[in-house]
A and B are shown apart, each in its own frame.
Chain A
Amino acid sequence: MVKYLFGRVLGGVVTLFLVTALAFFATAFAPGNPASVLLGNMATPERIEAITRQLGLDQPLPVRYGIWLRETLLGNLGTSNVSFKPVNDLLLAAAFPTVQLALASLVVAVVIAIPLGLILAQNRNSWWSRPASGLITLGISVPGFWVGLMLIVLFSVTLKILPSGGYTPPSKDLWLNIRSLILPVATLAIYLIPSVVRFVRVTAISVLREDYVDTARAKGTAPAAILLRHVAPNTLVTTITYIGLQLGVLISGAVVVELIFSIPGLGRLGLNAVLNRDYPVVQGVVLLAATGYVAVNLLIDLAYALIDPRVRAR
């Protein structure tokens, strides 16, 4: 298990290294000399040169990367070019809505998708199995953000029972918070469900073909009991890893959903920063989201090792 975990941690470190390099390049190669941007209309050639030396911009790239990495690890992410607020504060304020949205959507999606996938696997030979698979393919093909727009048309415009956007923090009003998140969470969950259902179905079908399932069946165990006691646990172990892989989809989806429903989260922060060329904020958002992605994937790998004795033994 030590070797397995070592490999995973190494993979995480490599990813983070690539990400920091990516985020660094986002500023290092950004158009415009940061020194003259910083000085604005007070810029004179002497001052620009002084600031350039002070910031270490005259150093070769690897050295600059080292300087930048040290500052970043110390938590110094700079200030926004647009609002002049510290990037740390902006990230902190935006992180909560995003985490709330992503977590709630993931829970809803998993709670719906896993039983659905198991039921589809159990009834794989019934007449409705093929139409159900067709429906899953349709679900995978429909853009998630369009589903969000349609939910707005249905629930906000036509039925007028849910807000079409905006976000209330739970500390202010929990009920309004939940109401403001119903449509965004539904959108993101609907986006995730089809692919998870498909994965659970395929995995469970292959588990159903295992010898120990035949043995249980021969002993006279009821089909429902086989599904719950033998198929579900073995399917779940693999599904956890799959959900880890879907994390990138979840992050991408959250950005779009935040834009549609005007949720002041990391996605909207990053998106506005991109369109305003606010490089320090772009960098902060990319770093934070990527670190979160790597950290959660590491936790999933750890959970996987704890659940599955075959991995533990390695």
Chain B
Amino acid sequence: MTKKLGLQTIEFKDTVSILSTAAIAGHREGMGPLAKYYDKILEDAQWGEDTWEKTESKMQKTAISRAVEKAQIDVKDIDYIFAGDLLNQCTSSTFAFRDFGIPFLGLYGACSTMAETLGLAASMIDGGFANLCAAVTSSHFCTAERQYRFPLEYGGQRTPTAQWTVTGSGGVILGKGDNLPCITHFTVGKIVDAGIKDANNMGAAMAPAAAETILTHFEDTNRVPQDYDLILTGDLGKIGKSILIDLLGQKGYDMSDNYNDCGCMVFDINDSDIHGGGSGCGCGAITLCGYIMDMFRANEINHVLFVGTGALLSPTSTMQGESIPCVAHAVAISAK
């Protein structure tokens, strides 16, 4: 009995429930419109640590600890933890869980990591390989800036298309439970390179990958946009969002009613530093783990398609003049 639908989608036959989620957000994110849904808002970028990297690790650790508390489970009962982040060698994740003593699988999907970790963790449970799994990711503005761009104090001007990396971490505990939102489908995206070379226009680079994955998801599952209360991409920002609506519109899918992008939701729209919108693994993660899960609990939404979008570039590839390959993974969540 195959659980694969169509070309790229896995259908989970068993119940894979979201037992709990936790969202840790940075100070600036805490001034945004979704602030009340976060479990913790940092008072400053450093959070008592002497390096930004340590702060980011602490955010992941706290996200999982908080989610474990909320699910009322013992952390040792987690069978596998799936984690990833934006830093070289994924050190935010590995350093966060080095003392946890839980089987660890590190992933890199750039900003698509929340969807990737969720989908793989759900597959482990549905396949009968695990009872409890954790999925977690993070990004931090300061660690991302120093790795991908310039020192924080450097006086540069950002282009209107540049996006602002979200400081935040989202953690999810998956297991089997009653009357909880469930992960029903996982559409694994292919790498799509639309030829965009501007690392300051990642929304435009990622939109075709997101469009392909969403389109494939609809075809594989025989669904249409109206089957969802909300379709949510991770961090396309204003430009990517508008391109995605165009691309899917050309294929006959009307996305105007129930589609949004976390990058357009996470920050205060009057904040002049944000330019194109929010980005980073944390962008989708804190929006999903905070606001979206709260909407499920309040029965305000019942079906969500969460699409993590990742730009798979590195500072080296950008300097060598390469275009930006992108990937998007979709996870369908439904209330039970």
Chains A and B belong together in one complex: no
**Which chain A residues have a beta carbon within 8 Å of chain B's beta carbons?**
none
